Every structure is written in C-alpha cells, then in structure tokens.
Structure 1
Amino acid sequence: MRRVLLLFAVTIIFGVYFSIEGKTKSEVLLIGSVHEQHTKPDVYPLSILTKALEVYKPDALLIEISPENLKKQDWTKSPPEAALLYVTAQRLDIPVYGIDADKTKPSKPPTAEAKKERQSLMDDVGGYGFTEVHSPKADKALAKHYKHRDEDREKAMDKNVMTLLQDLKGKRFFVVTGFTHRHHLRQAVDDCCTLVSPLTLSIPKAQVPAEDLKAARKIWEKTLTDLKTSKAPSRKIEQLEKFLTIK
C-alpha cells in the first residue's frame, strides 16, 4: 500500500512540475521578411505582417533594429517593414524590443559571386512569397546556400533574442527579421521554446491600416532624409523610396 501511495505521490509531483514547466516555456512565432519585395503586393504584401501581428496577439514584438537605435528612433540601419510593425504594435499596445547588433559591418554592394549564390538560393526556395520563405523547402535551401556575411551580427542577434526569451520567460513572442536571419535564429531558439509555424496562422486578406501606414511614412520620410544626408549606399535609398510609393 505504501508503495502504491508513494508511486501516486511521485506521479502527482512530476505532473505538476511538467505542467508548470510547460506554462513557463516561451512561445515564438518567427517570421521572415523580404525587405524590398514587400513593395510588390502580389508577392508578399506588408499587410500580411501587420495582420499577422493582430491575429497572433503576442506579449512582445522583436524587430530588426538595435536596442540603442530603437531608443534613439534611428531607423537608418533597419529594413522599412520594421518601422511599420513598430507603429502597428504601438496601436495594439504591444511592447517592442530591438534585437539587432549595435554595430554591423558597413554595407557593400554584393559581388557577382554573391549575386549568383543568392539567385541559386531563391531558385531553390521557389520565390519571395509568404508561403515560400516559410516552407521546409526554404529551410533546406538556406542550409545549403546561405553564408553569413557578418557572423558577429548573427551571434549578437541570437544573444539579444535569447536574453529576452529568458527575461520574459513564458511569454508569446512575435519575431520578425529578414528571412535569412530567421533561419539562423530558428536554430538558436529551437531547443528552449515552442516554435509556432507562420503557416499555421489564419491571416485574412486586408490592407495595412491607414493610420499605421501614415505613421510609418513619417518615419520613412525622416529616415530617407537621414540616409541622403549621410550619403548612404544608393540601394538603401532606392529601397526606401519604393516603400514610400505604397498606398
């Protein structure tokens, strides 16, 4: 009888432990963005990002900007979609955290070899659409082709994300980075968290809310001025100019 009672007690204790452990495990939705491809509504429209944020209702949004630049509201080194998600999160009262490295290597035009490798990657991925960049096929293609241009930056991003996951343990995170960074981050957080596939979300078709787009445009316009003043690479300026054509 004592053995039965002891076994029952141990079962209860382990059940409670794993129940608590499960509740304290963070849930991460890791979304890959495609930068200038978001300006093409028939490929991967910005509205997918803003609507996904509304649908998932996370406890925190993590975006591709350094913590320091987020404090200063300096968006010159961040992709334009990060600023849009920032203003959407503000409207939804979702806390926003920057996860990029404070220092990154200077941006240089891609070499012919890099362009060729990128094309091979995208041929294997099958396109820049939301479904394509989050498919198992994309993961295999990235594992095969992608080479990190700035390994220190990747490590810094991993560290920043892992620190937030630990500090805010048990929360739901909506993480958005360029889809090649997503591949790297996915490997880093896979063991510690419950990863949610973006493809499981039911994202209705919609337009970017007008108030969000208006607020983002103000950020983009200031950023464009800052980029021109600092004589930033022309491709960064051209990319932002494309975003400013979105209506």
Structure 2
Amino acid sequence: MKPIVFFRKFHKWLGLIIGIQVLFWAAGGFVMTFFDIEEVRGEHTTAKQEPFTLNQPVVVTAQQAISQIDFAPETITLKGFLGEPVWVAQGQDKQAIIDAATGERLSPLDESLARQVALADFSGDGELAELNLLSEELGEVRGKGLPIWQAQFNDSDNTRVYISPQNGEVVARRNDTWRVFDFFWMLHIMDYKNRTDFNHPLVVFAALLALFMTLSGLYLVIKMVFLKPKRANPRKA
C-alpha cells in the first residue's frame, strides 16, 4: 500500500474516532474564553466586606476559647465574623468558632447565623428564597465537605451561596453562568464524574489520537499540495 493511501485511511478513521471530542475541545475553549471569569465565580454579586478591626475589646482569651471546644486545636486565630471578633480554632479535620466577647461557641452554625452570613455576602438583585443544610454531596460543591449550608437566591442568575457550618466561611458561589461553564469544562477535560482531573489516562489517550490525526492531515497537505507531482504536457500534434 502506498504511503499516501495509508495516510488517507489513517486520517479518515482517526477523524471518525476522535473528531467529536476535538469539537468538544474547541467548543469548551470558546465558552471558557467567552464568559467573564468574575461572573463565573459570582464575584459580581459578592458584597464588599469591611476589613476587620478591633473596635471592641476582646474579653475572652485564646486559652479560655480553647476550653470551650472538644478537640485539641493546632492553631487558634482572632478574626472578624459578622462584624464581631471571634476565635477560630483549627484542628486536623475540625474547626470551631468562639465568640471573643462572650465565650460562646458559635459553630456549627445554626440556621439564623447561616442566614446572616448569606445575606452579608450577597449584593445581587434577588432575595434569599431558601436555606438548607445539606448532608449529601452535591455536584456543584464537590469536595467542600459535609454538612454544608446552601443559600438559594432568586436573582436572575439563580445564585447559590454555600457556607461551612464549621468556620462560617463562604466556601463556594454558584450561578447559571458557572453551571454552563462547568458543563463545558467537563467536556473539555473529559472527567465526567468529578470534573477536576485534567491529566487522567482517557484525556491523554484522546490527545494522542488528536495529535496523530493532525500529523497525518499535515502529511496529506504537504504531499498533495506542495509535493504534488507535475503532469507531463501532452505532445503537440
């Protein structure tokens, strides 16, 4: 079989096998460059937080705060929480918030505190429509830990704010723009389960096939366009 015939068949079958994924890569690349990353992350509806300052006296010492928790912390830090000073204790896989003025343990956050955190974080055009404590993992907050508070707003972009009940922090912001972005990100990296791994064997194999398809197409172009043999001129009668 001549090389040109082999590469024609090789290129055709590779195109059939990997062509759809190449289309997904192109579409994913377009979508990911089309959307403003700040809009994807929900930063345009995030309220600006005032920097934490110690305007109020810290009555409870770090040692007194530690006595209120049931684990041995590795670190304990003074931070601002809803405008008030709190101690945040951090262990290997545990966290706790202690009010620095009263010594009361605030974590895990109850519904009232979670609501305050959600409202303080959101600056969009909608209102808080629903607040739920999730105990089962949801796809759009993969790896953020459970349980987790989900605050659903009724704005035009269906924003959801996710709050850790252990440290009171907003750990994720999701909206319809993010969901479209995430879908095409999944197609782009070919991780259809966790949508986080972009160098797994499947995508490496697909990229290798796409490379071979490109090289074979390049060979055909060079061979048929630039190295095309010239036809002999017919003899004049």
Considering the TM-score relative to the shorter chain, is it more than 0.5?
no
Q: Which has the higher strand share?
A: 2
Higher relative contact order, chain-length normalized (CA < 8 Å, sep 6+): 1
TM-score bucket (shorter structure): under 0.3
